[in-house]
Amino acid sequence: MLKFSSADLFESDLFGAEVRSSDVPESSVLPSGLVGMAQQLEGYEGGRCVQQVSAARVLAALQRDAVARRVMTTRDQPSRGDLVGVRLNLNVLKSTGVAVHSVHRGKTSGGHREHKGFWTGEVLCYAQTVTLRRAFFNVHQAGREAIASGKAAKHPMASVDGELYSLRDCADFGGLEVRFNPRLVHLFVDGGNRAVRYADEVTLLGNRCYLRGRIVYFDEETWVQPKGPSDTLARPASAVLRSGIGSDAAWA
């Protein structure tokens, strides 16, 4: 199994394998919901180029954070295939303006398939770009409500959880773009504010996710209600919306 290291992350161009949109695996068991093929959905863009900062700048930003310095020198590094949770590191972003992801240790109990993300797990490493496979998009609804209502500052309460594939900076961010802003939505959503539950593959950079392969949307039956009175723009996908999302061939 490929083992990642902090040194490779900042000093080598061989950290993980290059992600190719044509090389996306299919999960044998999908969660319930409305399933579509990313490349046939409204909002999909192939060959997308996104600006990234240099590895040197990422490392410099992390070196300014005491917790990040400790993690980089003391923690075991993850291996390809490990279950992990990924979230934007708010402390580093606020103090340096550099968007870096924290990679958290996951659990094998399967809770991430049922809305229990890994955002509280031990931080293993950091990366500007992370690619996961068989990924679930999870939000702690009480934590989101506290932020949306103004009762709490932004804090870890959401993550993308799945099997680690690569921590290498990418040249191609092709895929269906998805985002999450707790002040506006209570789930991860696409450009039409349709809530996403799962993707065969996702690459994360900054506050955006780029999904490939099969996508599972929340539908009317699998919908997760927000916990509290705060408004949300997120909505479930439904059969009525199919013609607005993509062609009939997009749906499994």
- The domain in which residue 241 lies consists of 31-250
pLDDT at residue 21 is higher than 60: no
* Global pTM value: 0.86
Is the pLDDT reported for residue 9 higher than 50? no
* pLDDT, position 244: 44
Domain-embedded: residue 118: yes
Residue 10 forms part of a structural domain: no
| Distance, CA of 112 to CA of 158 (rounded, Å) | 11
CA R_g for the chain? 17
Hey, how many other C-beta atoms are within 10 angstroms of the C-beta on 189?
23
Residue 52 tokens read as 């990234």
Establish if 104 belongs to a structural domain. Answer: yes
216 within a domain of the structure (yes/no): yes
pLDDT value at residue 172: 76
* Structural domain includes residue 124: yes
Contact assessment for residue 178 and residue 169, using Cβ atoms and an 8 Å cutoff: no
The total number of structural domains that make up the chain? 1
Mean pLDDT lowest among 27-36, 165-174, 207-216:
27-36
Chain mean pLDDT for the chain: 86
* Range 185-212 average pLDDT: 96
**What's the pLDDT tens digit per position in 96-113?**
999 999 999 999 999 999
Q: What is the mean pLDDT of residues 180-201?
A: 96
Q: What is the pLDDT of residue 28?
A: 59
| Domain membership flag for residue 3 | no
Annotate 145-197 with three-state secondary structure. Answer: HHHHCCCCCCCCCEEEEEEEEECCCCCCCCEEEEECCCCCCCCCECCCCEEEE
- Assigned domain for 126 exists: yes
Is the residue at 7 inside a domain?
A: no
